[in-house]
Amino acid sequence: MPDKTEARELQIFPRRLMDSKKADDFVALLKDMPEVEEVFIHGPSYKGGGHIVGSIIVRVHPDVVISETTEKIKPICEQYMQFGFDLRVGQFTKTRPTVKDYVTGKMRG
């Protein structure tokens, strides 16, 4: 039975930064999972176009039990993040427009 809470996201925080190639492979595996709706990566970019990843947010489909998805994602994390990682369940992206969205013209009120 699906969780009916608002928390539909997982934050994966590697204990060491991931390079762009390794992170891209990891994200591709996550996106191939039917339980995953969307994946966001966060981290600094370099002038040459490269980037490193500091955290990954995985949005899970609303009709999926998040605890089961977490258990499926853990082995993938262990494979790609040998130095460890932290995995949290919660809401990590904004759920409604902010004042900045209205000021910059992204939203109209």
Is residue 109, in this structure, part of any structural domain at all? no
Is residue 61, in this structure, part of any structural domain at all? yes
pLDDT single digits (tens) 46-80: 877 778 888 999 999 988 999 999 999 999 999 99
**Residue 70, domain CATH:** 3.30.70.60
Is residue 76, in this structure, part of any structural domain at all? yes
Is residue 77, in this structure, part of any structural domain at all? yes
Domain count, the chain: 1
Give the pLDDT of residue 109: 63
Is residue 42, in this structure, part of any structural domain at all? yes
Amino acid in the structure at residue 55: S
pTM over 0.85: no
Confidence tier at 6 by pLDDT (50, 70, 90): low
Helices and strands (H, E) in the chain, number of each type:
3, 6
Q: Is 73 exposed, middle or buried (0-12, 13-18, 19+ CB in 10 A)?
A: buried
Query: Residue 82: which domain range?
Result: 9-103
